[in-house]
Amino acid sequence: MPVRKATLGSGKGKADSLHLVAARLRNIRSAQGLSLNELARRSGIAKATLVRLEGGQGNPTLETLMSLATELRVSLTDLLNASDRPLVHVTRKNEGTEIGGGGLRLRLMHRASNGATLLEIFDMHMDRGTFESRAHADGVHEDLILHSGELIVGPVDATVSLTRGDFVSFEGDRDHIYKCVTQTAHATLLVSYPTRSAARFSVHDP
């Protein structure tokens, strides 16, 4: 079964997302005092690709964005969103930053912090196929509730099979996979980060 790679969406939404990612990536990298050469070396992503990303070009895969977030020790949505939050947060069915394509689609529903942990909640849809994720930063944790379809999920050496209504919780700081064995699957994915991992520097919004 092929490994699926997800990318940012298409059309105007894609262009807006690319410009936001470009600005966020530049700001976060600069805040850490990292050169493009150093970030390329650490992440294993070609410098030319990083130059294009910071120029608002290309179409980064979810794997690329996750690799950058891991090496920069930030959450995935730190690369995708500004940090201002309203008093009451509502995400309608046609709202939320989306990463899609290649069979895997994530839509950010909400992110919140209690001071010790940053939580991101995604609406996840996946078509038949496999997505492989590198280990995230130390202390990152993933929880998933499956609403429909069947998935094989977890660290590569400790995967579990899930059917509708099942729940899984595992450490995201190990290489792990999401494998859809039915035509489609729908789940809610929660990713939590210890704030100490993201608080080593100050991130300024574009």
Report domain extents, the chain: 7-79, 98-198
- What percent of the chain has a predicted confidence (pLDDT) above 70? 81
**Would the pLDDT of 77 be above 80?**
no
Report the candidate in 36, 6, 12 with the shortest Cα–Cα distance to residue 133: 6
Does pTM top 0.85 for this prediction?
no
The confidence score (pLDDT) of residue 202 equals 31
**Would the pLDDT of 115 be above 90?**
no
Q: Please report the DSSP string for 85-106 in residue order.
A: --SS----TT-S-EEE-TTEEE
Fold of 7-79: 434 Repressor (Amino-terminal Domain) (1.10.260)
**Would the pLDDT of 80 be above 70?**
yes
What would the two tokens of residue 28 be? 């976060």
* Strands in 101-175 per DSSP E: 104-113, 117-133, 141-148, 151-155, 160-162, 167-171
Q: Tell me the average pLDDT across 26-40.
A: 87
CATH label, 98-198, candidates 2.60.120.10, 2.60.40.10, 3.40.50.12780, 3.40.50.300: 2.60.120.10
Helix crossing, 11-31 with 47-54: angle to 10°? 110
Q: Each residue of 116-175: pLDDT tens digit?
A: 788 899 999 999 999 988 898 889 999 999 999 999 999 999 999 999 999 999 999 999
Query: Secondary structure of 23-83 in the HEC alphabet?
Result: HHHHHHHHHCCCCHHHHHHHHCCCHHHHHHHHCCCCCCEHHHHHHHHHHHCCCHHHHCCCC
Q: Tell me the average pLDDT across 61-79.
A: 83
The confidence score (pLDDT) of residue 101 equals 65
Report the candidate in 148, 196, 154 with the shortest Cα–Cα distance to residue 172: 154
